[in-house]
Amino acid sequence: MELYDIVIIGAGPAGLMAAGHASELGARVLVLEKNKYAGIKLLMTGGGRCNFTNNAPDKIFAGKFGFNGKWLLSGLSNFNSDSIIDFFAARNINSQANLEGKVYPENNSAAEIRKALIDYVESNQGEIIYEARVIKIIKDADRISKIILSDNREIKARNFIIATGGNSYPLSGSNGDAYTWLKELGHKIIKPRPALCPIIVKENFVKNLEGLSFQNCSLDIYKNNKKISFESGDFIFTGHGLSGPAALNLSRVITKEDKTNLIIKIDFFPDESSESLDKKFQELIESKSKESIRNILRKLTQKRLADFILDNRNIEISKKGADLTKLERSEIINFLKNLSLTILDIGGFNEAMITSGGVDLREVNQKTMASKLYSNLYFAGEILDLDGPTGGYNLQIAWTSGYLAGESAAFHKD
């Protein structure tokens, strides 16, 4: 007879949620974690503040996951953002939401979230073994019979949940181990790609703007001159391109594209047409015609950007406003409304917050998170082919799928 009802591989947010819930339902649960500690990546989330969900209504929430979002809806009807907010509140972690619906613990502590999850497992007699790296899964017909650890230990169980995460930030432990096992088992893996990572552009001049951040801009992606995606929001120039929420979110689209003829266009003033911005600029020039164009432009946009534009367009900074030519004015407006940069690539897995791709959802039951190929195998978290934007969407996948996988495996007895 097997010692455990459920063996869970991975003590990240998905594995811990699955383990806690299955244990509270009475299952004998063992979690195997290759690291010395649980939830290493969880500690990094939200810059240590842990943006643990987003309070968007379920349909809008699911819509953020694109084509695969529909698959999520039945899971969310069982355990959604309200459920996880209540879950932590019941453990004395109240939450706060910002205007974009991003939900954080009131004390801004990812460490408290992690502690609550570990307590959830241990207080229900779930067991966690650290420094236990799974290297293989063994099947027997349409069941998983056991797993093998790197020290050759074999562990049997009635059910198995794979919660090993994706391939991003591999040093945190999620280095894509499970993709190999799952392919060997015959599961289809949608190509894992880095996502929510910085965009790298060809133009070296961005180095001069490194660290400058902007709010409420519009960023459009063009492939062969055709607009294929857009985002509005905040971004920051890096030494090699762009980062910040709007740029990170666009990396989810760029990651799946061939990178030739790929352009990003930035509009620093999306709420103004070129004409109205030009009018505003002309009015500024007229009211300060004796001032240098540098001082005038610095009133329209951030100082470093203003200085950079003049340098980039070869406009003498001491030139009086009144002496600016029409062509120079239109070049400045064009820069602010339509800065076009050539996309070379996006950052790799080392800087990607999440992995796009993973276990093909067509092979997973959306109500139970059970494999459709193996009767006692379940999935939870980022191992699934689900990737959301920044804003708490990705951790909610861990909570929803972890909860469902834990529950289904706990009730699965054959």
Ligand X SMILES: Cc1cc2nc3c(=O)[nH]c(=O)nc-3n(C[C@H](O)[C@H](O)[C@H](O)COP(=O)(O)OP(=O)(O)OC[C@H]3O[C@@H](n4cnc5c(N)ncnc54)[C@H](O)[C@@H]3O)c2cc1C
Backbone angles phi, psi at 193, to 5 degrees: -135, 150
Shortest spacing between CB 347 and ligand X, in angstroms? 12
At 140, which helix (H) or strand (E)? strand 134-140
* Cβ distance to ligand X smaller for residue 321 or 347: 347
Backbone angles phi, psi at 356, to 5 degrees: -95, 140
Q: How far is the CB of 354 from ligand X (least distance, A)?
A: 5
CB of 192 to ligand X, least distance (A): 12
Pairing of the two strands 127-129 and 29-32: parallel
Q: Identify which of residues 47 and 211 has a Cβ nearer to ligand X in the complex.
A: 47
| CB nearer ligand X, residue 13 or residue 321 | 13
Nearest CB to ligand X, comparing residues 203 and 360: 360
Distance between CA 287 and CA 136 in Å, rounded?
73
Shortest distance, CB of residue 141 to ligand X, whole angstroms? 24
Closest CB to ligand X among 169 and 268? Answer: 169
Q: Find the DSSP H helices in 326-389.
A: 326-337
CB under 8 Å to 21, separation ≥6 — which residues?
Answer: 120, 402, 403, 406, 407, 410
Min CB(54)–ligand X separation in Å: 8
> Quick one: tokens of 327?
């062509």
Q: Any residues with CB less than 8 A from the CB of 251 and at least 6 apart, and which?
A: 194, 195, 196, 197, 198, 199, 346, 347, 352
Q: Least distance from C-beta 22 to ligand X, angstroms? A: 15
Site of interaction with ligand X (CB under 6 A) = 9-15, 32-35, 40-42, 44-46, 50-51, 133-134, 163-165, 168-169, 173-174, 177, 353-354, 381-382, 392-395, 398
Nearer to ligand X, 172 or 282 (CB): 172
Task: Write down the least CB distance from residue 146 to ligand X, Å.
Answer: 14
- Is the Cβ of residue 268 or residue 399 nearer to ligand X in the bound state? 399
CA angle 170, 171, 174 (to 5 degrees): 40
Question: Token pair for residue 176?
Answer: 């894509």
Q: Helix, strand or coil for residue 146?
A: strand
Q: For 354, which DSSP code? A: E
Rg (CA), the chain: 25
